[in-house]
């Protein structure tokens, strides 16, 4: 779930034209595709993998109903492909095998996040949806983890639904942000669908709806008691902070949404403390990101909770992750044949792969090796089998389990690699066997072309 049930049509047209081409040419044997990110986005030195649950739901549901097939018959590009193709699509289900790194696993450039093996047409059609959900959720989980790291133990709540790329994106952003370490979201539908903790205070319009700010505050406190967080900046923040002292130490919190958050948080903290409200928390919101939060926290601003919207929920500084899904192997005359793309700036490695992660004596990750799936290498293999014969073959972890796992994994990334500014590069190498396989295939292809 997350964006309505998506099925066979949730793909690019060229996946279907290729599928028709495969079918017409008897290319219905098994193929393997791997999903990975070629280069890390600017400022990112690692990624937090997310989106596997939606990927597997999609594969489980992948099919075409009669209306959808009728629609495809009317697509001009498909006018000549013939009835056998539409019959094939009508029967199509995903029957293959999927290996993936668990959601919440840190990954690096070139590392397969997901590997799909199945009849070529099934695996090909799935490309677009798999990329859309894993690219986006990995993007947001990574951004969330950066922001959570910058907050040094203060809490982050995801607040971005109104600036997300539609409400479907808002749901997935709330889910991925939780994986990345946010304590919850303002998005009620995300709370309902995914069981995420939901948080809410009030907006300026609530204060405006009353003649007096004090009257609005009293009405809110009357209803929400010790759950109340009052929004202070509708008219004047300091005046409002003084009004808030009327409620004493049972007031849960106040929120600042504009102005100089460093100065205002100190002044408001002082007003609250003088009223014996040391436990009343200060929440800040308004155009926050990891840099701004690091600056505020580093400078000692007494802010307990940050509500982060736009910058988190759209990953504003880098709003797209360039994950790709590449053919690495296919069956020909009952033989597995390795495949790679040769074009200069986008060459790939052939064959099914595994990632092995080594651990140093301090418990931190010490380096990764990408090799052929059947190699024996030192370290813990990261890709696990999650679907066989189109059916999930392991109990799906809950979101709190994924969040706990992610937190533990992130702590094991070397501190230099995790640094927000000028991170060091984490060592990832390719095995000798994989390099040799690529070199052999490259020579062969260059001879041909």
Q: Is 354 in the site for a copy of itself (CB under 8 A)?
A: no
Q: Which residue has the tokens 């060091």?
A: 424
Q: Which of 27, 146, 154, 353 binds a copy of itself (CB under 8 A)?
A: 27
Task: State yes or no: residue 138 binds a copy of itself (CB under 8 A).
Answer: no
Q: Binding of a copy of itself at residue 136 (CB under 8 A)?
A: yes
User: 243-262: which residues touch a copy of itself (CB under 8 A)?
Assistant: 258-259
Residue 93 sits in the site that holds a copy of itself (CB under 8 A): no
Give the one residue of 21, 302, 367, 397 binding a copy of itself; rule: CB under 8 A: 21
Binding of residue 265 to a copy of itself (CB under 8 A): no
Tally Cβ neighbours within 10 Å of residue 366: 16
Is 117 a binding residue for a copy of itself by CB under 8 A? The answer is: no
Shortest Cβ 331–a copy of itself spacing (Å): 10
The one among 87, 246, 342, 436 contacting a copy of itself by CB under 8 A: 342
Residues 165, 171, 172, 176: is their CA dihedral positive or negative? Answer: positive
Q: Identify the residue whose tokens are 């991925």.
A: 176
Taking every pair of C-alpha atoms in the chain, what is the biggest distance, in angstroms? 82
Do the Cβ atoms of 170 and 206 come closer than 8 Å? no
Q: Which of 39, 66, 83, 205 binds a copy of itself (CB under 8 A)?
A: 205
Per CB under 8 A, contacts with a copy of itself among 176-195 are 186-189, 191-192
Q: Which is nearer to a copy of itself, 117 or 409 (CB)?
A: 117
For a copy of itself, the binding residues in 417-436 under the rule CB under 8 A are none
H/E run at residue 329? strand 323-332
Per CB under 8 A, does 306 bind a copy of itself? no
Query: What's the token pair of residue 328?
Result: 């690495």
As a dihedral over the C-alpha atoms of residue 266, residue 271, residue 275, residue 278, rounded to 10 degrees, the angle is: -10
Tokens 């991170």 locate to 423
The residues that bridge with 7 in the sheet, in sequence order, are none
The number of beta carbons lying within 10 Å of the beta carbon of residue 229 is 23
Is the CB of 236 or the CB of 246 nearer to a copy of itself? 236
Among residues 87, 212, 273, 411, the one that binds a copy of itself under rule CB under 8 A: 212
CB-based burial label for 362 (10 Å; 0-12, 13-18, 19+): exposed
Query: Cα separation of 63 and 55, whole Å?
Result: 14
Indicate whether 343 belongs to the interface with a copy of itself (CB under 8 A): yes
Residue numbers 28-87 binding a copy of itself by CB under 8 A: 31, 33, 54, 68, 71-72, 75-77, 79-81
């Amino acid at each position: 779930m997350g964006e309505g049930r998506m099925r066979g049509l949730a793909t690019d047209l060229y996946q279907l034209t290729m599928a028709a081409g495969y079918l017409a040419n008897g290319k219905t044997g098994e193929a393997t595709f791997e999903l990975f990110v070629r280069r890390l986005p600017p400022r990112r030195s690692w990624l937090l993998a997310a989106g596997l649950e939606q990927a597997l739901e999609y594969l489980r549901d992948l099919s075409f109903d009669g209306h959808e097939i009728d629609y495809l018959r009317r697509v001009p590009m498909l006018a000549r492909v013939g009835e056998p193709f539409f019959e094939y699509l009508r029967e199509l289900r995903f029957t293959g095998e999927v290996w993936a790194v668990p959601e919440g696993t840190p990954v690096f450039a070139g590392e397969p996040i997901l590997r799909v093996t199945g009849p070529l047409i099934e695996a090909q059609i799935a490309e677009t949806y798999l990329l859309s959900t894993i690219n986006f959720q990995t993007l947001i989980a990574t951004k969330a983890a950066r922001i959570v790291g910058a907050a040094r133990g203060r809490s982050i709540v995801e607040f971005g639904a109104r600036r997300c790329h539609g409400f479907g994106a808002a749901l997935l952003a709330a889910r991925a942000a939780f994986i990345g370490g946010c304590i919850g979201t303002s998005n009620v539908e995300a709370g309902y669908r995914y069981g995420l903790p939901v948080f809410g205070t009030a907006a300026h319009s609530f204060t405006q709806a009353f003649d007096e700010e004090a009257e609005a505050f009293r009405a809110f406190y009357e209803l929400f008691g010790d759950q109340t967080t009052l929004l202070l900046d509708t008219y004047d923040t300091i005046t409002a902070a003084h009004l808030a002292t009327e409620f004493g130490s049972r007031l849960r919190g106040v929120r600042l949404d504009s102005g100089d958050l460093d100065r205002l948080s100190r002044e408001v903290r002082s007003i609250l403390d003088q009223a014996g409200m040391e436990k009343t928390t200060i929440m800040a919101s308004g155009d926050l990101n990891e840099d701004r939060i690091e600056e505020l926290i580093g400078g000692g601003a007494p802010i307990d909770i940050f509500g982060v919207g736009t910058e988190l929920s759209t990953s504003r500084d880098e709003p797209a992750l360039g994950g790709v899904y590449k053919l690495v192997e296919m069956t020909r005359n009952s033989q597995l044949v390795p495949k790679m793309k040769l074009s200069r700036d986008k060459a790939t490695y052939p064959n099914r792969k595994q990632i092995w992660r080594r651990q140093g004596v301090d418990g931190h990750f010490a380096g990764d090796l990408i090799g052929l799936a059947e190699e024996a290498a030192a370290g813990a293999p990261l890709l696990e089998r999650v679907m066989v014969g189109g059916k999930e073959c392991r109990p799906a972890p809950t979101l709190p389990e994924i969040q706990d796992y992610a937190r533990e994994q992130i702590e094991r990334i070397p501190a230099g690699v995790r640094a927000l500014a000028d991170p060091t590069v984490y060592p990832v190498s390719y095995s000798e066997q994989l390099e040799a396989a690529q070199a052999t295939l490259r020579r062969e292809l260059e001879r041909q072309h």
